[in-house]
Amino acid sequence: MGLDFTVIPKYFDIILLGCAYTIGITVAAAILSFFGGIVFAVIALYAPWIIRQPFRMVAWMFMGTPLLLQLFLIYFGLVQVGIDLPAVVAGIIGLGLHFAVYNSELIQTAILSVDKGQMEAARTLGLSRSEALRKVVIPQAVRAVIPPISNNMIALLKDSALVSVIGVSELTLSAQRAIGATYRPFEFYLLAAAFYYVINLGMEWVQRRIERRISISR
Amino acid sequence: MTDGKSFVEIRHAQKSFGKLEVLKDISLSVDRGQIVGIIGSSGSGKSTLLRAINDLDPLTGGEVWLDGVRVNQTLPHRAYEKHINQMRQQVGMVFQHFNLFPHMTARENVSMAPIMLKGISKDEANALAEAQLDHVGMLERIDYYPSQLSGGQKQRVAIARALAMQPKLMLFDEATSALDPELVEEVNQVMRKLAEQHMTMIIVTHEMDFAASVCDRVLFMDQGVVVEEGPPEILFKTPSQPRTREFLRKHLESAK
Ligand SMILES: Nc1ncnc2c1ncn2[C@@H]1O[C@H](COP(=O)(O)OP(=O)(O)OP(=O)(O)O)[C@@H](O)[C@H]1O
Ligand SMILES: [Mg+2]
């Protein structure tokens, strides 16, 4: 029965709304994963043993188990202990923490590879270790890992489709809904793919701008 | 002087890295406004001694005093951190490899610590950065990043950064060793200017001519001990110790 793109306009609003959800969730989770990644990295490197060890277990859980399972756990599991999160929030937290753990690995390595003289120079001026980390070491470490973190953020965009399993009508699920009504999978999946591609381009543009801004200082 | 101590007083400094004893019972006193040079071959412990003064390399034995206050005193961890941060604010240090903060402009390099630690306003910080960078002749590059500066310019910014905390004492660890020969003089000039302003300085250097021209006193170190010390005109011209003579002779040869 060939391709028929004339079915699209009627469902375009749904797709667009799905697209908005995908962008919103991705941006919120990306921000969470960025700052979470910094906090996790500092804990993993500098927190006392008593905090670091349990934290390692949690980090392992986020790296060693499927994201799908983590989303189920946060959305359905936490209800049992009285935490009833809206699906969108559960999705953002799940995605954000999952990628925070990956970002944290990158940031840890980067922190350790900042020249020792930087910490020394800051301490010599009278800064405490935490002040030196905050003003001198971490800003340099983060600048060094902007490219790989950006790759993680592209992966985050793609994995955001997984929050459809807890009922968030993001782009992929919206396409599926439209398909359910029209039996036109090819057209709507193609449309969704096109939207993902455009969002991707947008993210790359943001990444390039950030990199250009910081390149002068290195 | 408090308790009969000099402005900077090091008593029986001892430092080991594991089994390696790097400083062996070194004592040294420096008066306010004095300029002391430290020379010696590689690995003799010059940097370690300098870095003991602001506790970057804590001593394993002995005492360091600055202006009547014991630097390396025994305190509970948190109290010690507070105390040492306080002491370090009074001691400027300049490193061989500059260690400027690459993500900050010259202005930010200079004003960051005063903003953080002295709680000065943005306007005051800008005025301070301008004054300090002007002092080292770097005012026209105030908004440049370190990557946009030559080695000599970087080192001058690093000196301005240290001076912005208004230290009582400046420590220089081979401030010109990493520089191309033609850039050495601009840094030396800044140090001479500090000397004229009676800044107390301890200068580790491989430049004998410079040491001879600015230092009131020069120490020759070898294998963790001060072999000989004295005014430069005596230490360089008529050293009494064979090891000093040997070092100076070798140094003269390698300079040719
Ligand atoms: N952190 C450290 N751990 C172990 N050994 C060290 C450490 N720092 C210095 N040393 C050793 O201590 C000795 C003295 O080093 P130091 O850097 O004080 O010498 P120096 O006189 O400054 O030499 P140079 O002229 O090469 O700078 C050397 O043998 C060095 O290898
Ligand atoms: Mg040295």
Mean pLDDT of B24-35: 95
Please write down the long-range contacts of A46-53, taking CB distance under 8 Å and 24 or more positions apart.
Answer: A46/A133
pLDDT value for A116: 95
| Residue B75 contacts A, CB cutoff 8 Å | no
* Edge-to-edge strand ranges of the sheet holding B69-70: B20-30, B8-17, B61-66, B69-70
* Edge-to-edge strand ranges of the sheet holding B200-204: B91-94, B169-173, B200-204, B35-40, B217-222, B225-230
- Give the whole-angstrom CA distance, residue B31 versus residue B216: 10
Segments forming the whole domain that contains residue A209:
6-217
- Give the whole-angstrom CA distance, residue B93 versus residue B52: 12
- The protein residue whose alpha carbon is closest to atom 7 in ligand 1 is B17
DSSP assignment of B166-201? --SEEEEESTTTTS-HHHHHHHHHHHHHHHHTT-EE
Mean pLDDT of B59-67: 95
- How far A41 CA sits from the closest chain B CA (Å)? 20
- Give the whole-angstrom CA distance, residue B86 versus residue B109: 19
In tens digits, what is the pLDDT along chain A, a chain of 218 residues?
578 888 888 899 999 999 999 999 999 999 999 999 999 999 999 999 999 999 999 899 899 999 999 999 999 999 999 999 999 999 999 999 999 999 999 999 999 999 999 999 999 999 999 999 999 999 999 999 999 999 999 999 999 999 999 999 999 999 999 999 999 999 999 999 999 999 999 999 999 998 888 775 55
pLDDT value for B4: 61
Structure token digits, residue B92: 């400027």
Yes or no, beta carbons of B102 and A218 under 8 Å apart: yes
A171-182 vs A185-215: helix crossing angle, rounded to 10: 160
Strands B91-94 and B169-173: parallel
Q: What is the dihedral of CA B81, B86, B87, B91, to 10 degrees?
A: 120
Number of CB pairs < 8 Å for A and B? 69
Cβ(B45) – ligand 1 distance below 6 Å: yes
Strands B217-222 and B169-173: unpaired
Residue with tokens 């630690």: B117
Neighbours of B78 (CB within 10 A): 8
Chain CA centroid to CA A76, Å: 21
Chain B positions in Cβ-Cβ contact with residue A117 (cut-off 8 Å): 95, 97, 99
Cβ(B74) – ligand 1 distance below 6 Å: no
Yes or no, beta carbons of B89 and A140 under 8 Å apart: no
CB A37 within 8 A of CB A156: no
- The protein residue whose alpha carbon is closest to atom 28 in ligand 1 is B43
Neighbours of B224 (CB within 10 A): 22
CB A124 within 8 A of CB B89: no
Structure token digits, residue A67: 């994201």
* Strand residue runs (E) in chain B: 8-17, 20-30, 35-40, 61-66, 69-70, 91-94, 169-173, 200-204, 217-222, 225-230
Chain A positions in Cβ-Cβ contact with residue B102 (cut-off 8 Å): 140, 217-218
In a domain, A165, yes or no: yes
- Give the whole-angstrom CA distance, residue B70 versus residue B215: 25
Chain B positions in Cβ-Cβ contact with residue A139 (cut-off 8 Å): 103
Strands B61-66 and B8-17: antiparallel
Cβ(B205) – ligand 1 distance below 6 Å: no
In a domain, A1, yes or no: no
- Give the whole-angstrom CA distance, residue B11 versus residue A203: 61
Mutation choice for ligand 1 from B22, B95, B221, CB with most ligand atoms inside 8 A = B22
Q: What share of chain B is helix, strand, coil (3-state, %, to 5)?
A: 45, 25, 30
SS3 of B27, please? strand
Q: What is the dihedral of CA A144, A146, A149, A154, to 10 degrees?
A: -150
Which residue in chain B is spatially nearest to A135 when comparing CA positions? B112
Cβ(B22) – ligand 1 distance below 6 Å: yes
Mutation choice for ligand 1 from B20, B21, B223, B247, CB with most ligand atoms inside 8 A = B20
Yes or no, beta carbons of A117 and B113 under 8 Å apart: no
Chain CA centroid to CA A145, Å: 15
Residue B2 predicted with pLDDT over 60: no
Return residues 157-196 of B near A (CB < 8 Å).
Answer: 158, 161-162, 165
Q: How far is CA B82 from CA A5, B68, B88, in A?
A: 70, 18, 10
Mean pLDDT of B113-131: 95
Cβ(B40) – ligand 1 distance below 6 Å: yes
| Residue B106 contacts A, CB cutoff 8 Å | no
Chain CA centroid to CA B17, Å: 21
- How far A212 CA sits from the closest chain B CA (Å)? 13
- How far B243 CA sits from the closest chain A CA (Å)? 32
Structure token digits, residue A201: 């381009």
Structure token digits, residue B147: 């990557």
Residues facing residue B107 across a β-bridge: none
B interface test, pick of A116, A119, A124 with most B CB neighbours within 10 Å: A124
Yes or no, beta carbons of A140 and B102 under 8 Å apart: yes
In this predicted model, what pLDDT tens digit does every residue of A129-184 receive, in sequence order? 999 999 999 999 999 999 999 999 999 999 999 999 999 999 999 999 999 999 99
Q: Which residues of A lie inside 8 Å of B (Cβ-Cβ)? A: 115, 117-118, 120-129, 131, 135-136, 139-140, 143, 214, 216-218
Chain CA centroid to CA B158, Å: 12
Residue B1 predicted with pLDDT over 50: no
Q: What is the mean pLDDT of chain B?
A: 94
* A90 phi/psi in degrees, rounded to 5: -60, -40
Closest by CA position to A76, among listed A85, A65, A63: A85
Counted domains in chain A: 1
CATH of the domain at A170: 1.10.3720.10
The closest CB to that of B101, out of A118, A124, A129, belongs to A118
CB A88 within 8 A of CB A173: no
Structure token digits, residue B25: 């019972």
In a domain, A145, yes or no: yes
Q: Tell me how far the alpha carbon of residue B86 lies from the centroid of ligand 2, in angstroms.
A: 25
pLDDT value for A76: 94
Closest by CA position to A90, among listed A110, A70, A63: A70
Complex-level ipTM beyond the 0.90 threshold: yes
- How far B117 CA sits from the closest chain A CA (Å)? 7
